[in-house]
């Protein structure tokens, strides 16, 4: 007899079966980590030798992005500002270790899981991610960008200083980054991971988050949350907090303006080949229902023709007027399309944020 802890609802069981089928027969593509056999300085070789998008003419360097880069239908100031906010919150993720615990296959399939054959080794690879939240906690209680209470199991700060202290602080800040699980798999890999913020061009100031902690991981849906904690002063904290708030406000406006659009502009901000961030545009082409999240929301994976490259794994994917942001998962060599991990969409295709 199943215990409460082991019980899985019929909806969850169905979702797992559907996801396994999709990963085996439909969305069985290639991950888009950038693997570098040498040092970070060698990443430029991969940029120059790129086979997927030679010359990268379909990418817009973020520093050169302007409103006229949006198609006429979407040439809107709020959308332009929203793209810039998403870009400002996009980070380059660098991982130096492959966990010895990496599984051999995607859950419930015989499809190889990325880097299983390299488990236990050390080499440089890069992906992308996005700052999801900036939250202040007191005794383990904080409030997220939507005003919802967030409760941590730990009640003291877990920054390096506090972990080595007999009197850790009870008030701290967390910068929470969302990326793909196949980029940062577990605690072992997280311990050798760093996030570079505001890497907008080659001459950008170096600002890196290190000493990260894995908060949550979903291998099946391919997303995870990693956190940087600080109980002292932190450069850019207020700027990041302001950007997270702006992202929510602008998304509301954009959803209201474009929720009836059927072209579904889809943009991605990422760090191709581990280099400075780029913006790319395309359209959402199809969705694949994985299952039900609750009575109002479905779990979906998307396909799109928005350009990506190695280094784009984990990047934020925004389909204007469709739903919440997805996480870029991989590429399909058979047709050149790209696909996301699993996220939430209303069954009628309307925006997640309704007003």
What is 141-180 written as a DSSP string? EEE-TTS-EEE-S--S--SHHHHT-SS--SEEEEEEEEE-
Residues of the chain by 3-state class (helix, strand, coil), percent to 5:
25, 30, 45
Chain-centroid distance of CA 80 in Å reads 20
The arithmetic mean of pLDDT across residues 147-166, rounded, is: 95
Rounded Cα distance, 229 and 136, in Å: 10
Q: What is the pLDDT of residue 2?
A: 40
Please give the pLDDT value at position 260: 79
Rounded to an integer, the average pLDDT of 77-89 is 98
Nearest to residue 318, comparing CAs of 274, 278, 258, 268?
268
Judged against a pLDDT cut of 80, whether residue 346 lies above it is answered with: no
pLDDT computed for residue 347 by the predictor: 65
Q: Distance (Å, rounded) from C-alpha 317 to C-alpha 291? A: 20
Distance of CA 53 to the CA centre of its chain: 21
pLDDT of 5 > 70? The answer is no
Across the chain, mean pLDDT equals: 91
* Residue keyed to tokens 């080949």: 273
Residue 354: pLDDT above 50? no
Give per-residue pLDDT as tens, 182-240: 999 999 999 999 999 999 999 999 999 999 999 999 999 999 999 999 998 888 999 99
Q: Pairing relation of β-strands 193-196 and 90-97?
A: antiparallel
Residue of higher predicted confidence among 183 and 345:
183
pTM: 0.93
- Residue 353 CA from chain centroid, whole number: 19
What is the band of 355 on the pLDDT scale with cuts at 50, 70, 90?
very low
pLDDT > 70? residue 56: yes
Lowest model confidence (mean pLDDT) among 2-16, 73-87, 198-212, 333-347:
2-16
284 or 278: which carries more pLDDT confidence?
Answer: 278
For residues 143 and 286, the answer to whether their CB atoms sit within 8 Å is no
Distances (CA, A) of 91 to 67, 107, 108: 22, 28, 31
- 354 φ, ψ (degrees, to nearest 5): -105, 145
According to the model, what pLDDT value does residue 6 have?
53
Judge whether residue 315 has pLDDT over 90.
yes
**What is the pLDDT, as a whole number, of residue 204?**
95
Q: Following DSSP, what letter does each residue of 51-80 receive, concatenated?
A: SSSGGGTT-EEGGG--GGGS-GGG--HHHH
Residues in CB range of 345: below 8 A, 6 or more apart: 287, 297, 298, 299, 300, 322, 323, 324, 352
pLDDT of residue 118: 97
DSSP secondary structure code for residue 196 in this structure? E
CA 173-178-180 angle, 5° bins: 150
What pLDDT is stored for residue 3 in this prediction? 40
* Domains identified in the chain and CATH numbers: 10-345 (2.40.10.120)
Q: What is the pLDDT of residues 229-275, one digit of tens each?
A: 999 888 899 999 999 999 999 998 998 888 778 788 999 999 999 99
What is the structure's pLDDT at 60?
A: 98
Q: For residue 340, which of 311, 300, 281 has the smallest C-alpha distance?
A: 300
Burial 142-176 (b: 16+ CB within 10 A, else e): beeeeeeeeebeeebbbbeebeeeeebbeebbbbb
pLDDT range class, residue 7, cuts 50, 70, 90: low
What pLDDT digit, counting tens, does each position of 91-112 carry?
Answer: 999 999 999 999 999 999 999 9
Q: What percent of the chain has pLDDT over 70?
A: 95
């Amino acid at each position: 007899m199943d215990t409460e802890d082991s019980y899985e609802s019929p909806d969850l069981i169905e979702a797992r079966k559907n996801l396994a089928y999709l990963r085996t027969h439909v969305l069985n593509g290639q991950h888009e980590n950038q693997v570098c056999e040498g040092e970070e300085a060698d990443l430029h070789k991969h940029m120059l030798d790129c086979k997927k998008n030679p010359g990268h003419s379909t990418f817009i360097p973020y520093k050169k992005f302007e409103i006229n880069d949006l198609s006429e239908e979407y040439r809107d100031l709020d959308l332009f500002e929203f793209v810039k906010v998403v870009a400002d919150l996009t980070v380059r993720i660098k991982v130096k270790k492959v966990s010895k615990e990496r599984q051999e296959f995607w859950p419930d399939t015989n499809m190889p899981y990325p880097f299983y054959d390299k488990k236990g080794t050390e080499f440089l690879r890069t992906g992308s991610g996005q700052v999801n939240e900036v939250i202040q906690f007191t005794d383990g209680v904080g409030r997220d960008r939507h005003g919802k209470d967030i409760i941590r199991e730990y009640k003291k700060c877990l920054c390096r200083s506090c972990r080595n202290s007999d009197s850790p602080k009870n008030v701290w800040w967390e910068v929470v980054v969302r990326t793909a699980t196949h980029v940062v798999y577990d605690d072992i890999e997280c311990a050798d991971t760093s996030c570079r913020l505001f890497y907008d061009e080659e001459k950008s100031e170096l600002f890196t988050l290190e000493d990260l902690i894995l908060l949550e991981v979903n291998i099946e849906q391919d997303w995870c949350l990693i956190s940087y904690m600080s109980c002292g002063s932190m450069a850019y904290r207020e700027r990041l907090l302001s950007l997270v708030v702006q992202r929510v406000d602008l998304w509301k406006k954009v959803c209201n303006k474009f929720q009836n659009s059927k072209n579904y502009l889809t943009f991605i901000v990422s760090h191709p080949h581990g280099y400075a961030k780029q913006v790319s545009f395309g359209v959402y082409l199809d969705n694949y229902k994985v299952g039900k999240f609750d009575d109002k929301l479905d779990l979906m994976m998307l396909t799109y023709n928005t350009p990506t490259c190695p280094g784009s794994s984990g990047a934020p994917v925004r389909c204007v007027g469709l739903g919440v942001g997805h996480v870029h998962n991989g590429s399909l060599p058979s047709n050149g399309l790209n696909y996301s991990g699993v996220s939430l969409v209303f069954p009628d295709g309307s925006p997640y944020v309704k007003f």
